[in-house]
Amino acid sequence: MTLFIEQCLNGLQFGLLLFLLAAGLTLVFGIMDLVNLAHGSLYMLGAYFAATFAAWTGSFVFGVVLALGATLMVGMVVEVVAMRRLYGRDHLDHVLGTFGLILFFDELVRLVWGPEGLTLPLPSWLNTSVPILPGVDYSAYKLSIIVVTLAVAAFLYVLVMRTRIGMLIRAGASNREMVGALGVNIKLLYTLVFGLGAALAGLAGLMQAPILTVQIGMGENILILAFVITVIGGIGSIRGALVAAIFVGFIDTLGRAFFPDLLRMVLSPAAASTAAPALSSMLIYLLMAVVLVVKPEGLFSASGK
Amino acid sequence: MSGWLSVRAIAIVALLLALVLLPVHVELGGSRFLLTLFTRIIILALAAVSLNLILGYGGMMSFGHAAYLGIGGYAVGILAHEGVFTGFIQWPVALAASALFALVIGALSLRTRGVYFIMITLAFAQMAYYVVAGLARYGGDDGLTIYKRSQFIAPIDLSNKVQFYYICLALLFGSMYLVRRIVNSRFGLAIQGARSNDTRMRAIGFPTYRYKLVCFVIAGTLCGLSGALIANHTDFVSPAMMYWTRSGDLIIMVVLGGMGSTFGPLVGAVALLVLEEVLSSITEYWQIILGPLLLLVVLFARGGIDGLLGKVRHG
């Protein structure tokens, strides 16, 4: 039972982390109609920046704050230099252009930080466990990830639905020419949105950094999961991304933890241990396939509104 | 079409001649490495030709095409591991497995369009990657060494490098011819019609979903053949051959060469892989050049090399 609660929290934590990535992806797609494969590179950069700045300043918190600022800046520079020229082009162009950016960033990181990974050590006040229920302890750091991502999700909701900038973002998503004609600096708005998406990806990367190692290509595997989430949730919908991300986080984590045991009940132990790793990694794709059969546009399609 | 003496036609004839004569050059004292490199180029060009069928002519932006390379390769690898060496079983199984995968993936993915299609094909290919990486019996992440190439009847010997090169080249030319025939058939015209305007094609009575699905399966099967060849070429299969960046490479080849042209994928494969060799001999960090170069191609040379050669003729 303790294990089950712990795994549920792990699933929630992983799902919320995926939400940060998927939110940036879906925001950029919904507003600029841009498919950004290089989103995973920004996730990777966030982790590398945090590890580097934390080592320089000697403080975890300073490292995190500086890394967030740095990924925001990188995102805006990338938007001005490259992405801006891709708006309005074919999606295939986006895929190819941003694929080129992935190659560039991966190699750049290898050039600057070297091929072996970095680590981001946790400060002692986060590296403990706290009792969440009588007799159940949970990592303070993972708990703080849950709190931070929930706060960011709330912040995003308020930003998009309740502020003037959010109003412009929503307006720009439905008709960019009209918003531009009304005197809004749409170029600057896009740069800001892209920077915001980059910072969200960077935040996800740096929060994941103490749990996993910081390494080249870390953004690519998780980017695929973010794609699955946007497809399930409906492209362009932040609410859909949140629901789908939590779903995927739960299914992936719980699947890996308990699916082998379930399989052992049906199959022979030898067959189960052979099939389990392959099958449990298929679970979320099966979920995606089911959603596609039922609702090809995703659960909360933005175009339907 | 272009005249016989256009720059484009001359360039393509020169390239084809060079490919046919390459083993002669190697036998006369050229570098052995060239033969290995170009065998690889030709096999990947075959994969690019198959992708061009759905991407260039059908407008289906599949980002999971490398999955069939892996499936075709693993069909050969797994059968060899289990002691089945005859190519008369290995290759049909490779093709059938790729076709089946394409049928399932296509049936699901083709329900969607645009960016959903890109992401879904990518996700399913990645699923195949994780499944293969989880096959502990067949090497898992580390891959599987193939100790014996596919066996065929007497005169055919895949271990003979020159013979293997010509077999790959013949299969490449054969598949280019096949794709050309498909594209110019009634079926192919319906596929191209669906690319330009799917709704209209359906309105005049074409079941475009089924047409596209068949096209998707043909492309997957052809790519599976390419996978079986790679397995025989490297004597090794690993999940890395179906990683999503490999799908990206295939798309680059098609776009770089020129989408929707017969020779485009071949030109693109030669250009990309030779460029990789040249850049990696200059610097260890060659992708830092290749990445931005790709972006420039996307921004300024949309028609690919084929398009550029076509322009020379007009200019």
Beta strands in chain B (DSSP E): 144-145, 236-237
Q: Which two tokens stand for residue B51?
A: 């992708």
Nearest residue in chain A measured CA to CA from B111: A296
Whether residue A300 contacts residue A237, with contact meaning beta carbons closer than 8 Å, is answered with yes
Confidence band of A302 (pLDDT split at 50, 70, 90)? low
What distance in Å separates residue B257's CA from the closest CA in chain A?
A: 14
Rounded to an integer, what is the distance from CA B222 to the centroid of its chain?
Answer: 8
Render each residue's pLDDT in chain B as its tens digit; 315 residues: 445 568 888 888 999 999 999 998 988 887 888 999 999 999 999 999 999 999 999 999 999 999 999 999 999 999 999 999 999 999 999 999 999 999 999 999 998 878 888 888 988 998 899 889 888 888 888 899 999 899 898 788 888 999 999 999 999 999 999 999 999 999 999 999 999 999 999 999 999 999 999 999 999 999 999 999 999 999 999 999 999 889 999 999 998 888 888 899 999 999 999 999 999 998 888 888 989 988 888 888 777 787 777 765 443
CA separation for the pair A210, A140 (Å, rounded): 12
Substitution target from B63, B122, B127, B245 for chain A, most A beta carbons within 10 A: B127
| The residue type at B292 | P
Judged by CB atoms closer than 8 Å, whether chains meet at A292 and B122 is answered as no
Q: How many Cβ pairs within 8 Å bridge chains A and B?
A: 124
pLDDT tens for A203-241 read 999 999 998 889 888 888 888 889 889 889 887 788 889
Query: Hey, which CATH number is domain A2-304, 2.60.11, 1.10.150, 1.10.3470, 3.40.1000?
Result: 1.10.3470
First to last CA, chain A: 42
Nearest residue in chain B measured CA to CA from A273: B136
Closest by CA to A6, choosing from A253, A270, A302, is: A253
Exposure letters B105-132 (e unless 16+ CB within 10 A, then b)? bbbbbbebeebbbbbbbbbbbbbbbbbb
- Provide, as residue numbers in chain B, all residues whose Cβ is less than 8 Å from the Cβ of A108: 288
Judged by CB atoms closer than 8 Å, whether chains meet at A92 and B134 is answered as no
CA separation for the pair A54, A269 (Å, rounded): 46
- Provide, as residue numbers in chain A, all residues whose Cβ is less than 8 Å from the Cβ of B135: 274, 278
Any idea where the domains of chain B sit in the sequence? 7-314
| The residue type at A243 | V
Percentage helix, strand, coil, to 5, in chain B?
75, 0, 20
Closest by CA to A32, choosing from B115, B195, B160, is: B115
- Provide, as residue numbers in chain A, all residues whose Cβ is less than 8 Å from the Cβ of B105: none
- Provide, as residue numbers in chain A, all residues whose Cβ is less than 8 Å from the Cβ of B245: 99, 102, 220
Whether residue A63 contacts residue A50, with contact meaning beta carbons closer than 8 Å, is answered with yes
Whether residue A162 contacts residue A183, with contact meaning beta carbons closer than 8 Å, is answered with no
Judged by CB atoms closer than 8 Å, whether chains meet at B134 and A277 is answered as yes
Q: What is the DSSP letter of B187?
A: H
Whether residue B149 contacts residue B158, with contact meaning beta carbons closer than 8 Å, is answered with yes
Nearest residue in chain A measured CA to CA from B289: A104
**B62: number of Cβ within 10 Å:** 30
The owner of tokens 């195949």 is B128
Judged by CB atoms closer than 8 Å, whether chains meet at B123 and A285 is answered as yes
Q: Give domain B7-314's CATH architecture.
A: Orthogonal Bundle (1.10)
Judged by CB atoms closer than 8 Å, whether chains meet at A99 and B294 is answered as yes
Nearest residue in chain A measured CA to CA from B136: A274
Substitution target from A90, A94, A107, A232 for chain B, most B beta carbons within 10 A: A107
Q: Which two tokens stand for residue A305?
A: 């509104």
What distance in Å separates residue B72's CA from the closest CA in chain A?
A: 18
Substitution target from B52, B57, B74, B116 for chain A, most A beta carbons within 10 A: B116
Q: What is the crossing angle of helices B287-300 and A91-113, to 10°?
A: 160
| The residue type at A103 | L
Judged by CB atoms closer than 8 Å, whether chains meet at A281 and B131 is answered as yes
Ramachandran quadrant class, B260 (left: phi over 0; alpha: psi -120 to 50; beta: rest): left
- Provide, as residue numbers in chain B, all residues whose Cβ is less than 8 Å from the Cβ of A96: 251-252, 255, 294, 297-298
- Provide, as residue numbers in chain B, all residues whose Cβ is less than 8 Å from the Cβ of A230: 119
Query: Which positions ≥6 away from B118 have C-beta within 8 Å?
Result: A35, A91, A95, B61, B62, B63
What ipTM did this prediction achieve?
0.86
CA separation for the pair B30, B25 (Å, rounded): 6
Judged by CB atoms closer than 8 Å, whether chains meet at A100 and B292 is answered as yes
Whether residue B265 contacts residue B51, with contact meaning beta carbons closer than 8 Å, is answered with yes
First to last CA, chain B: 16
What distance in Å separates residue A90's CA from the closest CA in chain B?
A: 10
CA separation for the pair B240, B302 (Å, rounded): 29
pLDDT for B300: 84
Smallest Cβ distance to A103: which of B131, B134, B290? B290
Closest by CA to B76, choosing from B173, B145, B168, is: B145
Any idea where the domains of chain A sit in the sequence? 2-304
